[in-house]
Structure formats: structure tokens, C-alpha cells
Amino acid sequence: MILRPPTLPRRSLRGFTLIELLVVISLIAVLAAMVLAGAGGIMKKIKRDQIKNFLAELEGGLEDYKVDNAIYPLNPDPRGGSNTISGYSGPDGEAVGGATVLYKHLSGDFNTDGQVDNDETVYVERLDFWSNSDRGTGKPPEVVRSVQLGGSTYLVVDPLGSPIRYIAYAPGLVQEALQQGRIKNPTYDLWSVAGAEPGTADFTDQANWITNWGSN
């Protein structure tokens, strides 16, 4: 008698159903959205940290400037004149004008020709426009510190490209400015709006700013 081996049960083979595929795709989409949202938050924190570091660098330059000159660069200029930049008005326009004051006094380009002058002191490195231009190569630095607004007007900008805001009243005007709420510090106010555009909610909410009078 011949014995035949037992017959193995056949396995049922089938593919994914349409519903299963849709569920998998939906889960992948949700996970991808979560990853992208997290990456956006990380990049925002990186940029804000870069701005804080840059403000600290400017503060260091201002302190060195005061050691040499016994006073911080003044904005507005008590001798008259205006640093207001086109497109900005009111108190913010005055503060943005401070970006030109910082440029001239800290970059070593006091005659505003875009390059460090032979007879001027550099208080913050790589702040002059030449160091921030493409230098004819077509490739400016990844993080630009100053920009040109036509002619000989140069602004110090933060790593997000927003003009740095700066106010420093003359000693005889400080107390009045403090009482009227035009300034926060008796020395100088220095801040970044962290990329917010005037007229937007982020710009109006000062909690989004990075300042030298708060912890944000």
C-alpha cells in the first residue's frame, strides 16, 4: 500500500482592499503633516536664536562704542534731521531709522560708501555692506547683516531680513522720554520684530518681538 503525504491546507492569498489602502495613506499624510509642523517650529526657534545672538553682538558693539566715545550712538539725532526710512512712519519709522545709525557707528563705514573706512573703528564685524554683498560673485552670504536702500542709505537687518529697531535719546531727554513711554530703557532700546510686517497681528503683538527690555 502506498501512503500519500497529507495535503497541506491552501493559504488564502489576497491583496489590500481599497479601504485599507486609504487608511494607510491617511495615516502617512497625518504623520507627514506632524513632521512638517515640527520642522517649522524648529526652524522658527533656530531663527529666533540667531536673532538673539545678533542682538547680543550689537549690544557688545554698543558697549565698546560707549567706552571709546562716552555715549551711545544717538537716535534721534538731537542736532535735528531725520533718519526715517521710506515705507515706515511714526514711532516705528524713527526706530527703523536707528538701523542706519547703528550701521554708520558700528560698521566702520561712517562715510557710507559701503566699505570699511581706513580711519574708522569697527565695533561689530561683517556689518559693512561690502561684507554682505555678492562682491561680484553673485553669491551674498547666507545670513545678511546689512542692506542698501538706494544711494548711500544702509540698514542693519536681522537674520530674517527685518530692519533692526534702535532708539537712544540724548541724556537730557531720557527722563521725559521714559515718562512719556517713548522708550523702555534709560540707555537704549534695541529690538527685532522677528520678521513681522507692519500692520499684521504679529507686528502689533510685542510679545513676538525680541527685545533688550524683555526675556522673549
Residue 200 counted as domain residue: yes
Residues 58, 207, 91, 201, CA torsion sign: positive
Residue 205, domain extent: 44-211
Provide the residue type at 118 as one letter.
N
- What residues have CB less than 8 Å from 55, skipping those under 6 apart? 158, 164, 190, 191, 192, 210, 212
Cβ atoms within 10 Å, residue 4 = 5
Residue 3 lies in a domain: no
Please check whether residue 100 lies inside any domain of the structure. yes
Q: The pTM is what?
A: 0.79
Q: Residue 49, SS3?
A: helix
Q: Which residue in 123, 126, 159, 129 sits closest to 147, CA to CA? A: 129
Residues of the chain with pLDDT > 90, as a percent, come to 53
What is the Cα–Cα distance from 92 to 162, expressed in whole angstroms?
A: 12
The amino acid at 47 = K
Q: Give the chain's domain count.
A: 1
- Residue 85 confidence (pLDDT): 79
Whether 113 maps to a domain, the answer reads yes
Residue 13 lies in a domain: no
Residue 4, SS3 per DSSP: coil
pLDDT tens, position by position, 168-206: 999 999 999 999 999 999 999 999 999 888 888 888 888
